[in-house]
Every structure is written in C-alpha cells, then in structure tokens.
Amino acid sequence: MAAIIMTCSSLRRHVDAAQKKENTSYQVYELDSRLHAEPKEMRTAVFEAMDKLPGQVDTVLLSMGLCGGSVSERPLPVRVVMPKVDDCITLLMHTDDKWYPNLKRGGHMYLTDTVDSDLSIVNIRRQLVERYGEKKGFMVFDIWFASYKSVDIIDTGVYDCYSRDYVAKAKANADLIQCPVCYVEGSNLLLEKLVSGRWDHQFLIGEAGDTFREEDFVL
C-alpha cells in the first residue's frame, strides 16, 4: 500500500500524535479547516487534492468525517479510508471500539485544541460585526447562539486543555454566549486506528470509482 494522509488542519496536531504513537510516517496533506464553512468548497478541495496525487499513491487515509458532505456524492479517484462519523467533533469523542455516528449533544458547543481558530465563538462574533456592523452583527450573533447552554472542552489527551492560557481562551468564548465551561472525555483512538490500519466497523473503505453517500455515515 502506497498511502498518504489527508487531513483538515483542525486535526493536524491529532494526526501527528497518532503517527508518533503508532510509529508511522505517512506524508500529510493538510486542507484549510476554514473550507468547512462551505462544504462544497471543502469537497472541491478534497477531490482536487486527490486528483493531483503522485501516480504511485493508491490509498488516502482521510482524517475527517462527513462534515456536511465534504467527500460524498462523487466517484473516488483513489482508494479512501476514513472514520465513519459525521464530523471531527464526533471523531474526537470516540473513546472505545463502538461505532457512534454522532456523539454531540444539542445545545453544546465543543472546543478542541483549535480554540482560537477562525471558527471560534470569539472570531465568529468579530466576523459578524465586520460584515454587518456592531448593532446588526450582535443581533445575528445572539440569534445564532441563543440555544446553546454549555461550552464543552474535549479532553483527548493530545493537548493541554487545563493550562491557564487555554482555559482563559475557552472562558472568553463561553462568556460571549453566557455558558459555563465543562469538560467531556475524548481520545485520539480513531486516528490511531486509521494510521495503523486497524480499519473495522468504525471506518468506511471506498475503492477507486466508488462513491460515498451521506447515508453511509449513519447506517
């Protein structure tokens, strides 16, 4: 097998940790996590990257979930192996060998090591103000986040989510939507299994020419 890893940038630290633990050294192709704001753009980027792979690469270990359809509904140009999950949050919340298509809870905002990314609560608020002005931007922000009741930090063991700096950033996000900060258990298990070839019922394997459907990730 001539494989590479393709990952959303939000999972890069976890991919590197998985490779270190499993003693693998696959080349890593990184895609900008901001593309997830428009799933069609992420889908285009994923397939363009796969189309440009060197001819000797026959397998892509894809470090992401369905993420709004980022890899679905188009024939695969190469063999693809990926976690069978709806998104990277559920991916990091798996802690055992049971399969869960979605582990998130309604009304909960989840934080990982990318607590200050462009998709953080703080930066979403800033972007809305820049786009609409302060009055309308704050109004849209309040509507978007009105249903949230908790900001949950996923403790995967890969990053220090208890450091003073990290907790301060998490609290800054939570304060904007008037929510408490809580911790939930997570792990790096699925990425460790991905890079080590332990592909069981928690994974999808598609050969070149196959097409993933959205229902494949939930059935």
Within a domain: residue 101? no
Claim to verify: residue 79 and residue 148 sit in the same structural domain: no
Within a domain: residue 167? yes
Within a domain: residue 100? no
* Residue 210, pLDDT score: 95
* Residue 36, pLDDT score: 63
Within a domain: residue 51? yes
In the sheet that 59-63 helps form, which strands lie side by side, from edge to edge?
Answer: 28-31, 3-8, 59-63, 79-83, 203-206
Beta-strand relationship, 59-63 and 3-8: parallel
* Residue 35, pLDDT score: 67
37 in Cβ contact with 60 (< 8 Å): no
Within a domain: residue 129? yes
Within a domain: residue 92? no
Q: How many domains, the chain?
A: 2
Claim to verify: residue 148 and residue 196 sit in the same structural domain: no
* Residue 70, pLDDT score: 74
Mean pLDDT by 10 residues, the chain (219 residues): 92 98 97 73 86 93 85 89 94 97 95 89 96 97 97 98 97 97 98 98 96 89
Claim to verify: residue 126 and residue 200 sit in the same structural domain: no
Write out the H or E segment, with its range, that includes residue 183: strand 181-185
Structural domain that includes position 69? 3-86+188-217
